[in-house]
Structure 1
Amino acid sequence: MGSGTSPMGSAGGGNAAADKEKKGQGETGGPVLEKAQKCCGCRFPLLVALLQLLLGIAVAAVAFLMVTISSSLLARETPHWAGIIMIVVSLVGFILFCITRVPDESASAQFILKLLYFFLCTMGLVISVVVIAFQCYHYVLTNSYSCKEMGEYCSCTLDPEDPIARTFTYSGVTDCSAIVSTLPMYYLLQMVLNLAQAIVCLVGAFLLWKHRYQVFFAGLQTGSPSAQNWQKV
């Protein structure tokens, strides 16, 4: 009877063991670190980079379709460059995802990649906003056009009754309906795609900042040398 074990003591010992196990996992960067690296069930930045890749391809594809309407369209009207830049940003994100978090040896490379990805996400956000502004301007402009066909090009003006009004000429267009109906649709589609692109870039930069993914291993060793436990700072 005197040698019985108290239930409270047993429960306390179990809790202490569980706390010790959790503490050990946190120090070694086990499940705690793995959970911190995930966003919506996917390890960061896989989901963000995948969305950036798809949106970049979509923006570039729509821009090249716009060029087929008329070769006179300016680069700001066909923002294929914005899509290509976003594809580059996504590739950096995929490289960042593939890098294994190892201590000391690749700390500087990881830090540079994370800093580069943060900078590119910020730049992608700014570029997307600029593209949206240009597309809005041209969308309003083309909706005010009054066009007439002149051989192999289409001549458009804002006020057909004004003899000195500015004239916009689109070469390689045999049907002016492509300018007054199809082109505004592409402008609107570009606005939607670039808005989504800007949101994804903002989310990527925000997650990188909020969850402190820019933190890298400094090579501080805790515990015995044989255990090879490393601590983030």
Structure 2
Amino acid sequence: MGAEKPSSGEERGKDAEAARRQGGAAGDKGKGKAGRDSRDREPDPHKCCGCRFPLLVALAQLLLAITITVLAFIMMTLSSSLLTRDTPYWVGIIMCVAALLGLYIFCVTYEIDEQTVRQFIVKLVYFLLCTLGLILSVSAVAFAGDHLNQMSGFSCHMEPDHCACTQDPEDEIARAFLYRDVSDCEVVTGTVRLFLLLQVVLNLVLALVCLLGCYLMWKHRYQVFFAGLHFHPFKSPTQKPQKV
């Protein structure tokens, strides 16, 4: 006698059971994917608005820019003969704009991958302003440092309306530096020299902060660099190459 064929009811029951198993597996995969997506969307609990490192960079830029600008305008009141390159308020004003833009980026919404054109434009402008601030800060350091180096050998004497300084008092054709609107030469050799030293230090620190800001913006946008594959000739040929 031949084997009995299963009834149509049993076949339908087996098909329904298989369908339920497949549906359960698909549901588990969907739940796992949804869970991963929800975890990816959750903000990092270790990053608060005041503790984020890029935010600290923008705050440091703002503080340094305000200090540099205030010192520059104070130097302009000490003597009207100081050149614009010796009073780098132009660095402070530009970096104030950059710092305010950075605070807008990091305080409102900061996302590594830009979701809108506006976010991309704002981050690009901030990156360019940080680059410009780096160049201007280095230029201010060079100008103030050169003036400070010249003042190290000054020999000054007071005249009726200005303070005249020369590097070599015995040289009759030596270049004379005139500082008008000063009460005495002590203002030049003391206060102005101190302010130039402060400008060198502050602009140097600002240049480093701007460099750090450019690096952070670049790193947050391009966190992974694909440099090719590692090739290991002495390893097993079945082992897959490693991405770096």
The TM-score normalised by the length of structure 1 is 0.74
Q: Secondary structure of the residue that 1:42 maps to in structure 2? A: coil
Per-residue deviation, 1:137:
0.3
Per-residue deviation, 1:141:
0.7
Distance 1:193 1:72 in 2: 22
Query: 1:89-122: per-residue Cα shift (whole Å, max 9, x none)?
Result: 11111221244369x9960000000011111111
Corresponding residue number in structure 2 for 1:75: 84
Corresponding residue number in structure 2 for 1:140: 149
Report if aligned partners of 2:105, 2:123 keep a CA contact under 8 Å in 1.
yes
After superposition, residues 1-233 of structure 1 pair within 5 angstroms as 23-27=36-40, 29-31=41-43, 38=47, 42-43=51-52, 45-100=54-109, 107-212=116-221
Distance change (3 Å), C-alpha of 1:188 and 1:160? same
- Structure 2, gaps ≥5 residues long: 1-28, 224-244
Report if aligned partners of 1:64, 1:78 keep a CA contact under 8 Å in 2.
yes
Corresponding residue number in structure 2 for 1:222: none
Instruction: State the number of aligned residues.
Output: 193
Per-residue deviation, 1:213:
7.6
Per-residue deviation, 1:19:
7.4
Distance 2:48 2:131 in 1: 19
Report if aligned partners of 1:151, 1:174 keep a CA contact under 8 Å in 2.
no
Per-residue deviation, 1:47:
1.4
Query: 1:10-29: per-residue Cα shift (whole Å, max 9, x none)?
Result: xxxxxx9x9767622354x2
Aligned AA (2:128): F
Work out the percentage of aligned pairs sharing the same amino acid: 51
Distance 2:51 2:139 in 1: 30
Give the structure with higher Rg (CA). 2
Greater share of strand residues, 1 or 2? 1
Distance 1:172 1:135 in 2: 20
Report if aligned partners of 1:114, 1:213 keep a CA contact under 8 Å in 2.
no
Q: Secondary structure of the residue that 1:156 maps to in structure 2? A: strand
Report if aligned partners of 1:99, 1:110 keep a CA contact under 8 Å in 2.
no
Report if aligned partners of 2:141, 2:204 keep a CA contact under 8 Å in 1.
yes
Runs of 4+ that moved beyond 4 A: 18-22, 38-41
Per-residue deviation, 1:78:
0.7
Distance 2:183 2:61 in 1: 36
Q: Which range moved further: 130-139 or 40-49?
A: 40-49
Q: CA RMSD in A?
A: 2.9
Per-residue deviation, 1:181:
1.8
Report if aligned partners of 2:68, 2:88 keep a CA contact under 8 Å in 1.
yes
Distance 1:155 1:70 in 2: 12
Distance change (3 Å), C-alpha of 1:159 and 1:22? farther
- Structure 1, gaps ≥5 residues long: 1-15, 215-233
Distance change (3 Å), C-alpha of 1:162 and 1:211? same
Q: Secondary structure of the residue that 1:86 maps to in structure 2? A: helix
Distance 1:162 1:101 in 2: 61
